[in-house]
Amino acid sequence: MKRLNPLYLLALFATVVFISFFLLNEESKQYSEKVREFNNLQVKAKEYRDFKSSWDNKSFVNKTLNQILKSRTFRSEKVLRVETKNSVKIKLISQNQKVLNSFLNKVLNKKLIIKKLELNKSYIDLEIGHK
């Protein structure tokens, strides 16, 4: 039996080291990608929890609507408000387009579940859900 050439052993060792570092590098990339995905998922979960707590909260919806409707621009307008078990129905009647536009902008910029929205030149009919 012949002896093994030491260069073959060095080449084998270098190949094993190279493959090990290459695989380690790939695994570290995958790990960092999974960590980034987890962080994104965690942020989305916190946003969902915040939205769910505000949407499910009936007092939050009522307080938000009261703040909007008590502003100076809407006091002189005709506002019909009906509360049902799962929603609040609001009808704002006005001939002034700026008032209707302002009301719509304020409602759409809040965290509210809008189930129904009907727009007309003289009124806005809106249904906002609690759940």
Q: pLDDT 10s per residue in the chain (131 long)?
A: 578 888 888 999 999 999 999 999 999 999 999 999 999 999 999 998 887 777 677 888 888 889 998 888 888 889 999 998 888 999 999 998 998 999 999 999 988 889 999 999 999 999 998 86
Q: What is the count of structural domains for the chain?
A: 2
Q: How far apart are CA 84 and CA 37, in angstroms?
A: 41
pTM equals 0.61
Which of 39, 55, 71 terminates a domain? The answer is: 55
Domain ranges, residue 72: 58-129
Say yes or no: 21 and 46 in one domain. Answer: yes
Length of the chain: 131
**Neighbouring-strand partners of residue 113:** 129
25 and 73 together in one domain:
no
